[in-house]
Amino acid sequence: MKFNYGKLRGKIKEIFSTQEKFAKTVGMSTTTLSAKLNNKIQFSQNEIEKAVELLKIAKEDIPVYFFTTEVQESELRKDGD
């Protein structure tokens, strides 16, 4: 399952200006952050908690930023038929 991190990317840019600054603050390399945002590896619970704190994300909004699934192209075609 792939997640859509578009809102998370926007929040990172809003608060930290760059992913590099956010990665450094959260304590991971930019390569690791990029891999997480591109669904190569998953965020751990601790990383999510730290990101939520740094980005001032409300607890009830966590699913929107971290657990919104990407719509697969095949699903779009199926619905459009």
- For residue 3, the SS3 value is strand
Which structural domain range is residue 58 located in? Answer: 6-80
pTM: 0.84
Q: How confident is the model at residue 38 (pLDDT cuts 50, 70, 90)?
A: very high
Q: Is residue 61 part of a domain?
A: yes
Q: Is residue 20 part of a domain?
A: yes
Rounded distance between C-alpha atoms, residue 37 and residue 39, angstroms: 6
pLDDT at position 63 over 80: yes
Domain count within the chain: 1
- CATH number of the domain within which 49 lies: 1.10.260
Burial of 31 (0-12, 13-18, 19+ CB in 10 A): exposed
Q: Is residue 60 part of a domain?
A: yes
pLDDT of residue 71: 80
Pair of tokens at residue 5 = 């991190």
Q: Is residue 70 part of a domain?
A: yes
Rounded distance between C-alpha atoms, residue 68 and residue 4, angstroms: 6
At 41-55, the pLDDT tens digits run 999 999 999 999 999
Q: Is residue 31 part of a domain?
A: yes
Q: Which amino acid is at 68?
A: T
